[in-house]
Structure 1
Amino acid sequence: MNGAKIKGGAGVGRGSRTPSPRTRRAPPRRQTKLDRLIALLPVSGETLSRVLTGVVVMLAAGVLWMTAQFFGLPAMAGQEMAALAARSGFQVAKVEVQGLKRMDEMPVYTLALDEIDRSMLSVDLAELRARVMTLGWVEDARVTRRLPNTLVINIVERDPVAVWQHGGKLSLIDVNGVELEKVDGRSMPDLPLVVGPQANRETKSLQNLMEAAPALKPLLAGATWVGNRRWDLRFQSGETLSLPEGGPSAAAALMKFAQLDGVNRLLGRGIVRFDMRDPERFVLRMPPDRRTATGEAGAKDAAPGATPKLDKGAEQDERSPRPAAARTMGSGEA
């Protein structure tokens, strides 16, 4: 037997190693219905995760905002900001009104007085504009801030086109019949007078009617809206022209009268009324004194296209100048 010693570990064979256990793999997870639905979406899982995170953040922000609203925190913050702006010099100290030509500016200033000494940030421009729009003269308005301390109110006025007589009162009106202000009968403006309960609403139709005979437009003193259906026109020389119903018929009759007046100079010859309500007749009504002097009837008929015949006194006045214009307040049809 050899005395050679075997060194420790030198004779350990390969088969003496401790076998390592095999790594076990986890069984694959079964796909749920939710997984299959997510797989059908045309976005990646990462994108979907971002979207869901954003939704959660928005919901949280909404809850916080609703809570703040419940406790009035935004209003308190707004008031504090307005007070801070006022302390910094951004406080309403002046009101400037622009665009006025005819209307009195004091009603506008009166409406804006509530904004004086308030913070520029706390002024509700839309509400102030709505108050200014209630004034009759105002057709449109714009309210702006001019920092640091001025409110600017720019106004577009309505244009007066006539004086409306109704219920024993006189009112200045625009083309749409809006009442602008009351009128003193002792200081009438140089505008036509329209008479009748609904005459103000027909002012635009009257203007369109007078466009059919522009030569007669400067001679018009006023008009009466009769029976809510037709016009009686009163001229500055004192005569009245009764027109038929309906816009086209009235315009045709007025054009015919303008042609006859251009040829025969009907206006200014002492005739009381020209009646063209019947398209088949043209009636001229004379004043009572001239009927007595001439022994004629009160009305004369003429064919629509013919020249009306007048008495000799009227013929003598044909070359005389027309009398000066006289403003009178009209009345309704008898």
Structure 2
Amino acid sequence: MFALNATSSRKARIAFAARDGENGRVLPRFLRRPARFFAKVFDGEIVIPRFVEPVGLVGIFAATALYGSVVSGQFGGAAERVTAALGFAVNEVEVSGHRNTSEVAVFEALGLDEFTSLISLDAAEARKALESLPWVETATVRKVYPGKLEIGLEERRAFAIWQTGETLSLIERDGRVIGAYGGAGFASLPLVVGPGAATAAAPFMEMLSRYPRFASQVKALIHVGERRWDVRLANGITVKLPAEAPEKAVERLMAMDEQTQILSRDIASVDLRLEDRTTVALTENAMLRRAAALEARAKAIKASKRSSI
């Protein structure tokens, strides 16, 4: 048995129920106060108002509905619609820093519609979704309550057009592919062709930039055997450079052009692959003209010999 400090007999019964004799069970501490409360209710010491019952039923039904929504995965959508209806719907989107990324692509990436709530929108997830777009390098997402979304984009920079087979792609300086080449706005970019050209083009073009008179004429770069380069100039001439020390070959070509204006002539290619020899190939028209000139020369020689007899 144990002592009771309360004066009420009802309180004494509650305390006694907590320990049923010396060998009785002891209620856990967190259950003792609820047990005392319900004992008072059952004994009539506490009177519950009549309106509590319907309110309690409503609460039970609401809790059941909430539990069902959570279990079925519909709670997020319901919460989003409720907060949107309360005035937190995204009704203004400000996009900045985009040139090649359309606003439609931004909206689709974020899944925005008239029911999108600014409260339920996850800014970190939105940023990841935007950075998955082809042109987007980095993105920032800022929520301005009650209904404005500010989006800042930093786009990737196209360095060249890379051709593999019949496929044309826009690439960055490090060779990463941005996306398919669409033609508009990128026609001035150099064309790099062949396997390995995407990653090898930047250092090679940096070398060519030291010879601006030559680099300004470059139209396309063809990576041959992933070892060396053929340079196609804007006038159609192909310059074949060696795999080793191509800069020396370019210097030799520049010295030759200074003396003979070889790059302004009607030729098809200049082969600089051998250090001690330069081979020049004429165009088909130039070959025809050369053949005609040789034939005319031969006739003139014959005519001069006949006249001298």
What TM-score range do you get, normalising by the shorter chain?
0.5 to 0.7
**d(CA) in 2 for partners of 1:195 and 1:120?**
47
Partner of 2:226: 228
Secondary structure of 1:267 counterpart: helix
- TM normalised by structure 1 equals 0.57
> C-alpha deviations, 1:262-298, integer Å up to 9, x for none?
44322231111111122222221222443454359xx
Q: What is the correspondence of 1:36-115 to structure 2 with a 5 Å cutoff?
A: 86=84, 88-114=86-112
Contact 1:239 1:274 in 2 (8 A): yes
Secondary structure of 1:233 counterpart: strand
More helix by share: 2
Shift of 1:122: 2.2
Secondary structure of 2:98 counterpart: coil
How many correspondences in the alignment?
220
> C-alpha deviations, 1:227-279, integer Å up to 9, x for none?
11111110001100111114xx1223223323433443222311111111222
Secondary structure of 2:170 counterpart: strand
Matched residue type, 1:240:
T
**d(CA) in 2 for partners of 1:288 and 1:271?**
9
Secondary structure of 2:175 counterpart: coil
- Give the gaps of 5 or more residues in structure 1: 1-71, 297-334
Partner of 1:121: 119
Contact 1:274 1:284 in 2 (8 A): yes
Partner of 1:215: 213
Shift of 1:184: 5.0
Shift of 1:215: 1.9
Secondary structure of 1:215 counterpart: helix
Matched residue type, 2:131:
M
Partner of 1:268: 264
Contact 1:233 1:242 in 2 (8 A): yes
Contact 2:81 2:115 in 1 (8 A): no
Partner of 2:253: 257
Q: What is the correspondence of 1:233-312 to structure 2 with a 5 Å cutoff?
A: 233-246=231-244, 249-291=245-287, 293-294=289-290
Work out which of the two has the higher radius of gyration on C-alpha atoms and give 1 or 2. Answer: 1
Contact 1:243 1:277 in 2 (8 A): yes
Partner of 1:139: 137
RMSD after superposition: 3.2
Secondary structure of 1:237 counterpart: coil
Secondary structure of 1:201 counterpart: helix
**d(CA) in 1 for partners of 2:283 and 2:139?**
52
Matched residue type, 2:252:
K
Matched residue type, 1:150:
K
Structure 1 residues 287 and 221: alpha-carbon distance in aligned structure 2, compared to 1, 3 A threshold = same
Structure 1 residues 264 and 142: alpha-carbon distance in aligned structure 2, compared to 1, 3 A threshold = farther
Larger RCO: 1 or 2 (CA < 8 Å, sep 6+): 1
